[in-house]
Structure 1
Amino acid sequence: MRIETLLNKCLPLKSFVYSNVRLDEGEFRDKLVVTIRPRKNGVVLCSCCSKEGSVYDRLSVRAFDFVPLWNIRVVFEYKMRRVNCSHCGVKVEKIPWATGKSHTTTAFQLFLAQWARKLSWKETAETFGSCWDTVYRSVKRVVNYGLAHRNLDGITAIGVDEVQYGRGQKYITLVYQIDEGMRRLLYVGRKRTTKTLLRFFFEFGKKRTALLKFICSDMWAPYLKVIRKKAPQALNILDRFHIVGHLTKAVNQVRIDEVKKLKQDGYDESVLRHTKYCFLKNPENLTDKQQVKLDDVLDYDLKSVRAYLLKESFQLFWNYKSPYWAEWYLEKWCGRAMRSRLEPIKKFVKTIRNHQPLILNWFKAKKQYSSGVVEGLNRKVNLVTRKAFGFRSYEVLKIALFHTMGNLPEPESTHRFC
């Protein structure tokens, strides 16, 4: 079977012909050069308006990278024509295998973008004889197409969270769809401010926002303010994992303060050495050594022990099904915690009471939605940022995240190369 036959099957070109194929042997890598010529009496189209025009003149030969064949680089060569368009004037013709000024065929861009989901961008470039910038441009083109053609109708549940990236205090705001059966990234915004989330609701639209029933978020004040303003009809469910995280921080602070106080008063603080994770871990996750240490510490009348017991009793709160009885238990627990005279715990209680209605929304939603889904997606975000070696800006990170987690539609192709 001839190369031209394979090309006509994989990438048929209307109004153009694969006229000649030659193999150029190079010092480092061979190259298969395919010459393309316009078909006789074929139509020539304007690249701006796609309307038919007459040939004005021809330009010099231009090369386009195609999908490699048997690890041999494949290059299309074609003398571009300029079109005398009655609407746009003299313009370069429209060709079916590439767009704009790109020297990479559309098929090769889609090929690289598909592999960039499985490998790092650097590995993709090295494997297929390309470069990092070409892989990035290919992924960007596919992502831009997907964003323009994705369907955002029927979304009823979203999750909002922030992720730190790069060096220093740099954050991005992420919004996910967390409906059952469809979990994907909807929005990436720079920073974690009120304006950032307002921009999402502006792009999402009033009609779609009015259909939202559940929104999962943490206790970050700018997010709560925007959600309350833009989607008051939706149940705002606070992140259970962030709440527990605040409590474990309070328990750890009690331990730290107690160790310092014992040292200052001249007492032996060795009983609290190496107990940090004994207090912070769930009992089922303790190692045998940590379990022995914890059992030993629990025999002492220490502030750290009281804080630990309060933490464990708080876990029972999440087992309730009825919002009424969950609220009853939370009030009882908060009262007991305030009487503990442990300042970090009392500070946590004040935070809980300030956000109590939003915390109870988790039970009103019948535990159907949780930010645990959002945290799982955030872990995938961290994996993407590690995998996309060389991302140098927020824009590149945004493209990488949408490419992997956006569940975006791809441009149609006559042949799938991978």
Structure 2
Amino acid sequence: MAVQRPRVLLVNWRDTRHPEGGGSERYVERMAEGLARRGYQVAIQCAAHDRAPRLETVDGVRFRRAGNKFTVYLHALVAIAFARADLVVDVQNGMPFFARLVARCPVLILVHHLHEQQWYSAFGRRLGRLGWWIESTLAPRLFRNCRYVTVSDVTRRELADLGVESSRVNVVCNGVEPPPPTQAAPAAEPTLVLVSRLVPHKQIEHAIDAVVALAPHWPDLRLEVVGEGPWYPVLAEYASRRGVADRVRLHGWMTEQAKHETLARAWVHLCPSAKEGWGIVIMEAAGHGVPSVAYRSAGGVAESIVDNRTGLLANGFHDFVAKIEVLLADAERRTAMGEAGRRRAATFDWETSLDEFEHLVREVAGLPSGELGVQSAHDLVEQGAR
């Protein structure tokens, strides 16, 4: 008798091939690909863009892309209403998809982090207040009977502050791929690196300002910025206006190999973001023995960095600059932290995270425990290709 393939629909505002795709999308797709390998029928509904077709199957996952960053929510609601799924995963990146209103199956809410500051910086006071009310007040009430999954204990505590009982929130951490082989060695001159989407809440200006503050004592200091996004021209103009355009290199998009080589050449990795659910790139830098400096108040980075062991957490901008200088000036401490980070990064892997995520999926969907056959996963890939 054939094993029934459970059906999981994940709704997200974008995917990793989207120009603004980032760590949240990477997490969603790694979980989706893993479930597909294990025999699930998996689909992702997200916004359309010009870098990918509207319909395709990748690694066993069926992608359906429709709508822009606003209308994607309407398209997703239609997809949810007509889906013959055992579970819908509503990925709440600030704004939920309100899957519970139309889904004919259980709904699991995935939250990387909360977005209070981002609502106001992106939409201004009035619309920002509305957005934060939806995220902080309406969504917890609407999903009061739903289970949640997040990537850090910090976010679980923040959800609890909104009235979401911790007993309904599971933490499933990000995994980390082993760093690819690279011939790159730490640069001879002091080099800082920042890998991020170029958007306002990542506060990349803080890294540029840090270069301005440190330049008098570090005449050869350089900052390598890897990533793309709508804030690119703003940052280029800002570096020029601050007089450090010759020290700040905005690389834009890079291949994974080039990104890892850039990380491996750095002395210190910077993460000045206002908010992160976890900070995958912190662990990627650690995989190359590069310690990170980030803000203690930025959410999940306080877990991805073990303060004073794998990196340093700062309290405000001036402390951020001071912490960077501490690591630039002390090669022995920098190396020790880098090695501690390398060992810790090796303890995070996607298969362990997938085991935990799958267990939660089966529990929420009311599916019996047990493994699905490899043949059914192969059949799913063939089915999706047709």
Query: Do both share a fold (TM > 0.5)?
Result: no
- TM-score where L is the length of structure 2: 0.28
- Select the structure with the greater relative contact order (CA < 8 A; seq sep ≥ 6): 2
Which has more radius of gyration?
1
